Chain A
Amino acid sequence: MTTNSGFKVIKPGIFSLIEDAGRFGQHGIGLTTGGPLDREAFRWANRLCGDQQTAAAIEITVGGLVLESTVNTTIAVTGATIPLSINRQSRALWQSHQVKVGDRIELGFASSGSRGYLAVAGGFTINPIFNSAATVPREALGGLHRDGTALQAGDFIPCSQSHSAAQQRVPDSHRPDYSSNSAVLRVVLGYQQQAFSNTSKQLFFSSDYKVTESSDRMGFRLKGPGIKSTLDGILSEGICLGAIQVPADGQPIVLLNDRQTIGGYPKLGSVLSLDIGKLAQLLPGAVLRFEAISIEQAHNLLLLDQQRFADTVLEQVGLDE
Chain B
Amino acid sequence: MPSLKNISIAGENSLIVNFGDARTQIISQSIAAEVAATAAQLRTSLGAQLIDLVPSYASLLVIYDPFKTDHHAVRAAIRRALADPIDTDISQSGALVTLPVYYSTESGPDLKALADNAGLSIEAVINIHQQSEYSVYAIGFAPGFAYLGELDPRIAAPRLATPRQKVPRGAVAIADRQTAVYPAESPGGWNLIGLCPELMFDPSAEPSMPVQVGDRVRFNAIDRETYLGMGGLL
Do the beta carbons of A28 and B51 come within 8 Å of each other? no
CA distance A191 to B15 in the complex (A): 10
CB distance from A233 to the nearest CB of B (A): 8
Residue of B nearest to A302 (CB): B66
Known: A30-B143, A30-B145. A238 touches B12 (CB 8 A): no
CB distance from B69 to the nearest CB of A (A): 10
Do the beta carbons of A139 and B52 come within 8 Å of each other? no
A180 within 8 A of B: no
Chain A residues positioned under 8 Å from B213 (CB to CB): 28
Do the beta carbons of B11 and A242 come within 8 Å of each other? yes
Partner of A236, one of B11, B51, B56, B184: B56
B:153-174 near A, CB below 8 Å: none
Known: A191-B16, A240-B10, A243-B11. A27 touches B54 (CB 8 A): yes
CA distance A33 to B18 in the complex (A): 23
Chain B residues positioned under 8 Å from A269 (CB to CB): 11
A262 within 8 A of B: yes
A:225-240 near B, CB below 8 Å: 231, 234-240
Chain A residues positioned under 8 Å from B53 (CB to CB): 27-28, 238
Do the beta carbons of B138 and A26 come within 8 Å of each other? no
Known: A28-B55, A234-B23. A190 touches B140 (CB 8 A): no
A162 within 8 A of B: no
Chain A residues positioned under 8 Å from B6 (CB to CB): 191
CA distance A68 to B118 in the complex (A): 62
Partner of A29, one of B51, B71, B201: B201
Do the beta carbons of B143 and A236 come within 8 Å of each other? no
Do the beta carbons of B184 and A140 come within 8 Å of each other? yes
CA distance A26 to B16 in the complex (A): 17
A58 within 8 A of B: no
CB distance from B234 to the nearest CB of A (A): 22
Do the beta carbons of B23 and A231 come within 8 Å of each other? yes
Known: A237-B16, A237-B61, A262-B54. A28 touches B212 (CB 8 A): yes
Do the beta carbons of A299 and B70 come within 8 Å of each other? yes
Mask, A259-273, CB within 8 Å of B = 1, is: 011110001011011
Chain B residues positioned under 8 Å from A24 (CB to CB): 51-52
B86 within 8 A of A: no
CA distance A242 to B16 in the complex (A): 15
Chain A residues positioned under 8 Å from B60 (CB to CB): 238
Partner of A190, one of B10, B22, B55: B10
A25 within 8 A of B: yes
A:264-321 near B, CB below 8 Å: 267, 269-270, 272-273, 295, 298-299, 302-303, 306
CB distance from A207 to the nearest CB of B (A): 22
Residue of B nearest to A23 (CB): B52
Mask, B52-81, CB within 8 Å of A = 1, is: 111111111101001100110000000000
Known: A235-B57, A240-B10. A306 touches B67 (CB 8 A): yes
Known: A235-B57, A237-B22, A237-B57. A190 touches B138 (CB 8 A): no
Chain A residues positioned under 8 Å from B203 (CB to CB): 129-130, 141, 146
Do the beta carbons of B61 and A239 come within 8 Å of each other? yes
Residue of B nearest to A25 (CB): B52
CA distance A277 to B143 in the complex (A): 26
CA distance A302 to B140 in the complex (A): 29
Chain A residues positioned under 8 Å from B16 (CB to CB): 190-191, 237-238
CB distance from A255 to the nearest CB of B (A): 10
CB distance from A145 to the nearest CB of B (A): 12
Residue of A nearest to B142 (CB): A30
B:2-38 near A, CB below 8 Å: 6, 8-14, 16, 18, 22-23, 25, 27
Do the beta carbons of A30 and B141 come within 8 Å of each other? yes
Do the beta carbons of A236 and B57 come within 8 Å of each other? yes
Chain A residues positioned under 8 Å from B58 (CB to CB): 235, 237
CB distance from B217 to the nearest CB of A (A): 15
Residue of B nearest to A191 (CB): B8
B139 within 8 A of A: yes
Do the beta carbons of B57 and A30 come within 8 Å of each other? no
Interface centre among A25, A141, A262 (most CB of B within 10 A): A262
B105 within 8 A of A: no
Known: A235-B22, A235-B59. A26 touches B52 (CB 8 A): yes
B147 within 8 A of A: yes
A:203-260 near B, CB below 8 Å: 231, 234-243, 260
Known: A146-B203, A238-B10. 5 other contacts (CB 8 A): A188-B9, A190-B8, A235-B58, A236-B140, A237-B59
In the assembled complex, 23 residue pairs joining A and B whose CB atoms fall closer than 8 Å, in A order, are A27-B53, A28-B212, A30-B142, A33-B52, A129-B203, A130-B203, A139-B143, A146-B203, A188-B12, A190-B16, A231-B22, A235-B22, A236-B56, A236-B140, A238-B53, A238-B55, A239-B54, A239-B61, A241-B11, A242-B11, A243-B11, A295-B12, A302-B66
6 closest cross-chain pairs (CB), A and B: A238-B61, A238-B54, A191-B8, A270-B11, A262-B140, A240-B14
